Chain A
């Protein structure tokens, strides 16, 4: 079969099983758009800004586990996509981004809409390719998907010069079933000896803790993690990226750890004698001050990326491998072993954890006349029966969503953790809704974040993706304001906006339903009404207590055992904000 480059690219995506492309046209990709027009297997979602395309594809990828696909034009189209590419890179999300490029003969001549996309994205992709030969196009696309989805996943950019897609140049087409790359062979199975050592150490622990992260979700190993944890009876904490990998409502789950983790999770980390880190990368939001990190613990670390191991925290037993098979091997060994977890020690450990739990670190003022953001999330949980896909933006609202919506399943909690990209939430929700049209999809956001990709409301209307936007409107960049309150003597430098749009009208202007909620008793009915409108996108603009802060918190330079707790319930509303 002889096809043009444009046809080859589109056919390759079809053969790869791609369902959706999120994109935006322009000069360098016109041939490609023409080829897209002439087929109906792949659905193209026209966004309103290329950043939205990347986040929507990313949300789709996080919810499904399948790679997200983006198509943008050269120059400004390509640069607009960079934030979303970096967002996916830092959270290890599989994506393939196809960017148009100026024609090969003019590359390097500052041609119209030329930017060095390969150079610009090099530090924020797993790999990138410039296609220089149309006969290699199909193979390059295959390689891009292979690299993006295997090992530690990540975004891959394929930069395609316009002349490569020219309609009059036709070459034979065959999509490879498989590719191998001699320089790329991700390790899968773990080292047997190391696994044995790890199991021995685990079974001799007195105060063990399982610290698991996004890798469990990326590696589809929730079932194995749950079985492993239940079998051992050990406490488990998750990173922000790992929420849902282990059921959030299970009694062995002691909450998120890290900067805004629970008191019990952080104390247990601090006091533990054996930690097993599973697909987590000892991020600085998690460890707090490194010198103070887990002073008594021996650490086991399972990760598919050797570079994640001993990067910030030196570990005692590294296991390089894919979590699923490694946990299966460990479970096998645990079952065979005549050693059993130390029951007595474990009882003591759990009773200690029980005391930390009793501090009730997530309690907040339930009597307040103002809407407490935490209350909104709890109500969202109830109204959606804990079974919604929840995307979020970045800020306090993100932390509250993570703290007050316990996720029982993986891939339900969708947020930008590593890059912390404001503007992520709503386009991501569109991607999720396209993947799961029958599921409840909520985007928890703030009045600042939502404005960063607000234009995608138009995309949500065009493609009828009825999402529910929960805008926790505190009239502040709350997260910034909180830091300024704690560390800058409440000098609120530019952390508010003088004018905030009327979101209800804005939502209506885009064709959606808008609701403004000002009283606590309106929250529940509004949420119920919103989720009852199955075929409408609803924007709930919820006026929350603007003085509320995220607790507990590990402040900069502190360790896990030194958390800042809420002083006393009921005082926050008395506080005056300048």
Chain B
């Protein structure tokens, strides 16, 4: 099953490689990983998407918790949560395609954030499936490049991941 593990850790150089190293050393897979400092600059927050049986996910969370730099973590899949991913797509846009892409971006609640005579850059956030759907909806030949942040997530309700 797919799990989103949200990790609060010390904002130290090397912390990221400890997490990544753990996954490769123990043969766990990482589908995506995002990380950035939090409002408390001494901490960073990482969101990691992985897949595995219950036993493997249990080992993954235990092993992550064992890392000295990891302060706390939760498996978002265990509770109600919201998941978002950011995507920017550079699309060839000439002639009548310019309107078509604009309206498609509107339908998906995307924004055009850069315009040249021949291209658009569309910015879009949402669950990963929505981003997939947008890409599927436009002509694949017109996509020059797409960058995706990988999902991040947050649990709903009053509980939160903090010190």
Q: With A183-B71, A184-B68 known to touch, is A123 a contact of B25 (CB < 8 Å)?
A: yes
A310 and B57 alpha carbons, distance in the complex (Å): 12
> Binary interface profile of A, 174-198, with partner B (CB < 8 Å = 1, else 0)?
0000000111100000000000000
Classify the interface of chain A: helix, strand, loop or mixed. mixed
Question: For window 1-33 of chain B, which residues contact chain A by CB distance below 8 Å?
Answer: 9-10, 13-14, 17-18, 21, 25
> Binary interface profile of A, 307-351, with partner B (CB < 8 Å = 1, else 0)?
100110010000000000000000000000000000000000000
Smallest CB gap from B163: residue in A: A182
A181 and B67 alpha carbons, distance in the complex (Å): 12
> Binary interface profile of B, 66-92, with partner A (CB < 8 Å = 1, else 0)?
101111100000000000000000000
A311 with B59: CB separation less than 8 A? yes
A122 and B59 alpha carbons, distance in the complex (Å): 18
A122 and B25 alpha carbons, distance in the complex (Å): 10
- B62 at the A interface (CB under 8 A): yes
- A147 at the B interface (CB under 8 A): yes
CB contacts (< 8 Å) of A289 on chain B: these are none
CB contacts (< 8 Å) of A314 on chain B: these are 55
Smallest Cβ distance from A481 to chain B, in angstroms? 32
> Binary interface profile of A, 126-167, with partner B (CB < 8 Å = 1, else 0)?
110010000000000000000100000000000000000000
CB contacts (< 8 Å) of B14 on chain A: these are 118, 130
- A305 at the B interface (CB under 8 A): yes
Smallest Cβ distance from A484 to chain B, in angstroms? 29
B59 with A307: CB separation less than 8 A? yes
CB contacts (< 8 Å) of B17 on chain A: these are 119, 122
CB contacts (< 8 Å) of A119 on chain B: these are 17
B55 with A310: CB separation less than 8 A? yes
A126 and B22 alpha carbons, distance in the complex (Å): 12
CB contacts (< 8 Å) of B10 on chain A: these are 183
- A306 at the B interface (CB under 8 A): yes
B58 with A310: CB separation less than 8 A? yes
B63 with A127: CB separation less than 8 A? no
Smallest Cβ distance from B17 to chain A, in angstroms? 7
> Binary interface profile of B, 26-55, with partner A (CB < 8 Å = 1, else 0)?
000000000000000000000000000001
Q: With A182-B71, A182-B163, A183-B71 known to touch, is A122 a contact of B21 (CB < 8 Å)?
A: yes
CB contacts (< 8 Å) of B68 on chain A: these are 126-127, 147, 181, 183-184
> Binary interface profile of A, 294-309, with partner B (CB < 8 Å = 1, else 0)?
0000000000011100
Smallest CB gap from B20: residue in A: A122
**Most chain B CB atoms below 10 A, which of A147, A305, A306:** A306
Smallest CB gap from B9: residue in A: A183
CB contacts (< 8 Å) of B55 on chain A: these are 310, 314
Smallest Cβ distance from A302 to chain B, in angstroms? 16
Smallest CB gap from B66: residue in A: A307
Q: With A119-B17, A123-B25 known to touch, is A305 a contact of B66 (CB < 8 Å)?
A: yes
Smallest CB gap from B65: residue in A: A306
**Most chain A CB atoms below 10 A, which of B21, B59, B68, B71:** B68
Smallest CB gap from B60: residue in A: A307
CB contacts (< 8 Å) of B72 on chain A: these are 183
CB contacts (< 8 Å) of B9 on chain A: these are 183
Smallest Cβ distance from A334 to chain B, in angstroms? 29
Smallest Cβ distance from A567 to chain B, in angstroms? 40
B21 with A123: CB separation less than 8 A? yes
A307 with B71: CB separation less than 8 A? no
A539 and B110 alpha carbons, distance in the complex (Å): 79
CB contacts (< 8 Å) of B58 on chain A: these are 310
CB contacts (< 8 Å) of B21 on chain A: these are 122-123
A383 and B64 alpha carbons, distance in the complex (Å): 49
Smallest CB gap from A128: residue in B: B14
Smallest CB gap from A152: residue in B: B66
Question: For window 441-466 of chain A, which residues contact chain B by CB distance below 8 Å?
Answer: none
Smallest Cβ distance from A315 to chain B, in angstroms? 12
A122 with B18: CB separation less than 8 A? yes
A147 and B69 alpha carbons, distance in the complex (Å): 12
CB contacts (< 8 Å) of B63 on chain A: these are 307
A127 and B63 alpha carbons, distance in the complex (Å): 13
A307 with B18: CB separation less than 8 A? no
A67 and B24 alpha carbons, distance in the complex (Å): 30
A305 and B62 alpha carbons, distance in the complex (Å): 9
A306 with B62: CB separation less than 8 A? yes
CB contacts (< 8 Å) of A311 on chain B: these are 59
A529 and B55 alpha carbons, distance in the complex (Å): 56
A181 and B63 alpha carbons, distance in the complex (Å): 18
A218 and B72 alpha carbons, distance in the complex (Å): 27
A126 and B55 alpha carbons, distance in the complex (Å): 23
A130 and B14 alpha carbons, distance in the complex (Å): 9
A118 and B14 alpha carbons, distance in the complex (Å): 9
**Most chain A CB atoms below 10 A, which of B62, B70, B72:** B62
Smallest CB gap from B22: residue in A: A123
Q: With A118-B14, A130-B14 known to touch, is A307 a contact of B62 (CB < 8 Å)?
A: yes
**Most chain B CB atoms below 10 A, which of A130, A181, A307, A310:** A307
CB contacts (< 8 Å) of A127 on chain B: these are 68
CB contacts (< 8 Å) of B25 on chain A: these are 123
Residues of B within 8 A of A (CB): 9-10, 13-14, 17-18, 21, 25, 55, 58-59, 62-63, 65-66, 68-72, 163
Residues of A within 8 A of B (CB): 118-119, 122-123, 126-127, 130, 147, 181-184, 305-307, 310-311, 314
A selection of 21 A-B contacts at a CB cut-off of 8 Å is A118-B14, A122-B18, A122-B21, A126-B68, A147-B68, A181-B68, A182-B71, A183-B9, A183-B10, A183-B69, A183-B72, A306-B62, A306-B66, A307-B59, A307-B62, A307-B63, A307-B66, A310-B55, A310-B58, A311-B59, A314-B55
Q: 10 closest Cβ contacts across the A-B interface? A: A307-B62, A183-B71, A127-B68, A123-B25, A306-B62, A184-B68, A122-B21, A307-B63, A307-B66, A183-B10
**New A-B contacts (8) at CB < 8 Å, excluding given A183-B68, A307-B59:** A123-B25, A182-B71, A183-B10, A184-B68, A306-B66, A307-B63, A307-B66, A314-B55
